[in-house]
Amino acid sequence: MKTKFKRKDLIGWLVMLPTLILFTFYVWEPLIENIRLSLFKTIRYETKEFVGLANYARVLKNPDFMAAFKNTFSYTFWSLAIGFLVPIVLGILISETVYLKGLFRTGIYFPNIVPGIATIWIWNYFFTPGPTGVLNILLGKLGIEPSVWLNNPKWTIPLIIITMTWKSAGSTALIYMANISGISPDLYEAATIDGATIWERIRYITLPNVFGLAKTLLILQIISVFQILYEPMILKNGGPNNASISLMMLQYRYAFRDSDYSGGAALSVMICIILIILSGIYMCLTKKKEND
C-alpha cells in the first residue's frame, strides 16, 4: 500500500510539473525580478545602482500618487455598489424566468463578446458632451438639458464603472445561474407547497445558497477593479484634472511614458502589497463570521 501511494503521488506531481514550471517562469520569476528592479536605479531595464527604498519614497512624493490612490479605492467602492449587485440580480431573475430563458442568457452574455477597446469607444460616443452625445440626444427628447458627463469629475468614476459593468456583468450572472441551478428543486417545491411567494423563495432559499459563491467573486472583483487601466486611459486619459487616474495608470506612465522602470516596479510592488493586505483583511473577516 505504501509503494502504491508513493507511485500515485509521483504520478500526480508529474502531471502538475508542466503547470508548476510555467507558473514559476511566468509568475514567480517576474515577480521576484520586479522586486529586485524596484530597489535599483535603472536606465530602462539596466540596473545601475542599488538605492534601497528610494524609489518607493519617490513614488509616494509624486503629486499624482495620492489622487491615483484615492481614485482606485473609489473605483473599488463604486464597483461594489453598482457592479457587484447587478450580476446577482440578473442571475436570480433569469433563473426564475420560465419562458425565453435561453434568449435572455444570450442577451446578457453578448457584451462580453465585444472587444474591450470597442466597448469603451461605444460608451465614449454615448457619453459625448454637448448635443451630439447619444445620451444627451435621448435626454433632449425628454426636454432635459445636455450634460458634460465624463467631463464632470463627480460623475467620471461612476460612469466608467457602469461601462465596465455592462461589459462584464453577463458572464458573472451566468456563474450565479449555474450555482442556482445546483440548488435542490425539492427546496423550491416544498416552499411553494407551504405558500411561499417568489420573493420569499429568493430570500430564504436562493440568496443563502449563492452567498458562498458571492464571497469568492467579491474578493476577485476587488482585485480586478483595483488593477483598472485602459478604461480611464482611453475614455479620459486620467482626467479631468486627475479625477479618473488609477494606480495602474500611474504605473503605466512611469514605465511606458517616462521609461522609469524602477519607479513603475516600485509602484507595482506597492499595489501588490495593498492587495495582499485587503485580501488578508477580507479573509479574516469572513472566517470570523463563519466561526460565529
d(CA 276, CA 219): 11
Ramachandran angles phi, psi of 156, nearest 5°: -60, -55
Given the C-alpha cell 464597483, which residue does it identify?
A: 79
Tens of pLDDT, residue by residue over 157-210, are: 998 998 888 888 888 888 898 888 888 888 888 888 888 888 888 888 888 888
pLDDT in tens, 196-253: 888 888 888 888 888 888 888 888 888 888 888 888 888 888 888 888 899 999 998 9
* pLDDT tens readout for residues 37-74: 888 888 777 778 888 888 899 999 988 899 999 999 99
> Do residues 101 and 94 make contact, with C-beta atoms less than 8 angstroms apart?
yes
Beta-carbon neighbour count of residue 100 at 10 Å?
A: 11
Average pLDDT taken over every residue of the chain: 85
Residue by residue, DSSP assigns 92-152 as HHHHH--SSHHHHHHHHHHHHHS-HHHHHHHHHHHT-SSTTSHHHHHHHHTTPPP--GGGS
pLDDT grade, residue 270 (50/70/90)?
very high
pLDDT at 88 over 60: yes
Measured CA to CA, the distance from residue 13 to residue 1 in angstroms comes to: 18
Position 1 scores a pLDDT of 47
What predicted TM-score, i.e. pTM, was given to this entire model?
0.82
- pLDDT of residue 22 exceeding 70: yes
Instruction: Please identify which residue in the block is written with the cell numbers 536606465.
Output: 43
Three-state DSSP class for residue 46: strand
What residue type is 8 in one-letter code? K
Q: What is the DSSP letter of 244?
A: S
